Amino acid sequence: MIRAAAAMVKCLEAEGINCVFGYPGAAICPFYDELYSSDIHHVLVRHEANAGHAASGYARMTNRPAVCIATSGPGATNLLTAIATAYADSIPLICITGQVSTDQIGCDVFQEVDITGAAEPFVKYSYLVKDANDIPRIFKEAFYLAGTGRKGPVLIDVPQDVQNVQIDFEYPYDIKMRTYKPTYKGNPLQIQRICDAVNKAQRPLLCVGGGIFLSGAEREVAEFAKKACIPAVSTMMGLSIFPTDHPMYVGMIGMHGLRSANTAMNSCDTIIMIGARVGDRAVRSPSFLAEGKTVIHIDVDPAEIGKNIPVDIPLVGDCKVILSELCEMEYDNDHSDWIEQVFDIKNAVPENEETEGYINPKVFIRKLSDRLPDDTVCVADVGSNQIWTCNHYGFRKGARFLTTGGMGTMGYSLPCGIGAKMAAPEREVVVICGDGSFQMQLMELATIIQENISVKIIVMKNKRLGMVRELQTKCYDDRLIATDIGNYPDFVALANSYGIEADRVSTMAEAEEKIEKLASSKKAYLLECNVYKLESTL
């Protein structure tokens, strides 16, 4: 017999977890007490949302569920934003929360909140553990649910008294769930129909989304594009599947995407959406787009197919499995005229223009990516800084881009970068954020220094909530309100106060030298970039 809290730790060990992110409190103390004698490394973040975001970064780099922990009440509610963010991007998380003791549930006692109820709309599943003996089964199921099918966060809420019960521990080998059976293999008839449609198409286009990463199909999708001679565009979540300069890759679509990519979307006659959910930021008027086109939609989640766009050939299954199946088929059309046409559409190049005393963020980000290693993990926050990164960072083979596409949660980038670096310590991790968003996560500078996590941070300081400022200028008659965040703080001095090396760059002339210093540093490093307040997103 062991304490249920010890069983929880053993479950994590059995799942191969060796790093977790969390923040303690009374209701989760029995679990922490058992973590004390485990080899699992606990990263103490400075806000529970960041535990979730860090786990998200970790999960995305390992492609396995990652674990975050919070206490009951405010700890659990702080975690909510991260859970919702993970849900929107289908990131597999195991979220463990402490809960008040079973006999107190429903009495509105100190730090009691119905967290399974609150999180219900944006978890894949949740458990409120009432019987400690269920813990091994629940953990087994939770990892299975989070990490298979359409991935997502699973919440396990464990009352404090339950954590202290003695139970017989055996980690189950099998999962007995009669209801949950995700489809992996594609229906052969539909595969044939897709192959026929591609062969018939004059102007086929592949649109790849975050699902490609989630199923680990990066290699297969490139092979399919090559074999079937189909040019590809990506959603924001699909950025870096193809290197930016890949001969078959056009660019990112959507309201902030490239002209070439959007034109290709509009002028193709057959579109294969794969691992992309046709979100409104990617495709603004789906039914208009679908008109006169053959729409093929491949996704592991049947509910996504036909939800936002009318579909001619639906196919449910795992991207990797299906792409391998598609690669087995014969394709006899080289679509070369179409490919030529697609790559003929030119995009606006960012002018090298400079405003006195400021850097040009678009050119700067290009220079930054030129200097960083090929396999750098680049994390962008939300706002203009995110779009600058999407459109100007040059992803080479092996690079990885991370951002929050579905929720656009400010404050995601640094904790996500922390998680990514913990998962892939040998890779360079660069975080690009705005001065507004950085202030929603700057407490994590402490985590970085305490854990010695050498992420590189770029803060684009335009003294504005730039993207919202731009919206007010364009759509609200330039009536600017609540978007001026002033020239605070001095981010260099701030970083230094944590013992983190930092510098500032204000002209393009010194950009390369400053980037060099950042790139060659072996430790965490922050670079504050002075950006003109009216710098445009696109």
Partner 1 sequence: MKHTVSVLVENRAGVLARIAGLFARRGFNIDSLAVGETNDPTISRITIVADGDDHTAQQLEKQLNKLVDTIKVRTLSPDELLARELQLIKLNATPAQRSEILTICEVMGGKIVDMTPTSITIEISDSPEHLQRFRALIEGYGIKEIVRTGTIAIQKGVVTIR
Picking from 321, 317, 324, the residue whose alpha carbon sits closest to that of residue 296 is: 317
CB 263 within 8 A of CB 289: no
Beta carbon nearer to partner 1, 283 or 316: 316
CA distances 139 to 94, 179, 335, 343, 345, Å, are 9, 17, 49, 49, 51
Candidates 7-15, 92-100, 281-289, 462-470; binding stretch for ligand TPP (CB under 6 A): 462-470
CB of 64 to partner 1, least distance (A): 19
Q: Can residue 384 be called a binding residue for ligand TPP (CB under 6 A)?
A: yes
Q: What are phi and psi of 122, to 5 degrees?
A: -135, 35
Residues in 437-476 that interact with partner 1 by CB under 8 A: none
Give the range of 122-130, 192-200, 246-254, 359-367 binding partner 1 by CB under 8 A.
122-130
Considering only residues 463 through 502, tell me which ones interact with Mg ion, judged by CB under 5 A.
Answer: 464, 466
The reply to whether 480 sits near partner 1 by the rule CB under 8 A is no
**CB of 62 or CB of 530, closer to Mg ion:** 530
Q: Which residue has the tokens 């009691």?
A: 112
β-pair partners for 20: 42, 67
Q: Does 435 bind Mg ion (CB under 5 A)?
A: yes
Nearer to Mg ion, 147 or 434 (CB): 434
Residues with Cβ within 8 Å of residue 474, at least 6 apart in sequence: none
Q: Residue 529: helix, strand or coil by DSSP? A: strand
Among 128, 300, 431, 531, binds partner 1 (CB under 8 A): 128
Site residues for partner 1, 307-326, by CB under 8 A, read 307
CB-closest chain residue to Mg ion: 434
Partner from ligand TPP, Mg ion, partner 1, none contacting 176, C-beta within 5 to 8 A by type: none
| Minimum separation from the CB atom of position 179 to partner 1 (A) | 5
Does position 489 interact with ligand TPP (CB under 6 A)? The reply is: no
Q: Which position has the token pair 């080289």?
A: 334
- The tokens for 379 are 């994390």
Could you tell which of ligand TPP, Mg ion, partner 1, none binds residue 73, using a CB distance below 5 to 8 A set by kind? none
As given in the structure block, the two tokens for residue 337 are 């005229």
State the Cα–Cα distance between residues 158 and 36, nearest whole angstrom.
Answer: 18
Q: Which of 78, 389, 409, 447 binds ligand TPP (CB under 6 A)?
A: 409
Token reading at 120: 């219900």
417 binds ligand TPP (CB under 6 A): no
Among Mg ion, ligand TPP, partner 1, none, residue 302 binds (CB under 5-8 Å by kind): partner 1
CB of 467 to Mg ion, least distance (A): 8
Q: Per-residue b/e over 241-270, b at no fewer than 16 CB within 10 Å?
A: bbbbebebbbbbbbebbbebbbbbbeebeb
Burial of 81: CB neighbours in 10 Å, binned 0-12, 13-18, 19+: buried
Q: What residue ranges bind partner 1 (CB under 8 A)?
A: 116-117, 120-121, 124-125, 128, 130, 145, 150, 177-180, 301-303, 306-307
Q: What residue ranges bind ligand TPP (CB under 6 A)?
A: 381-385, 408-410, 434-437, 460, 462, 464-468
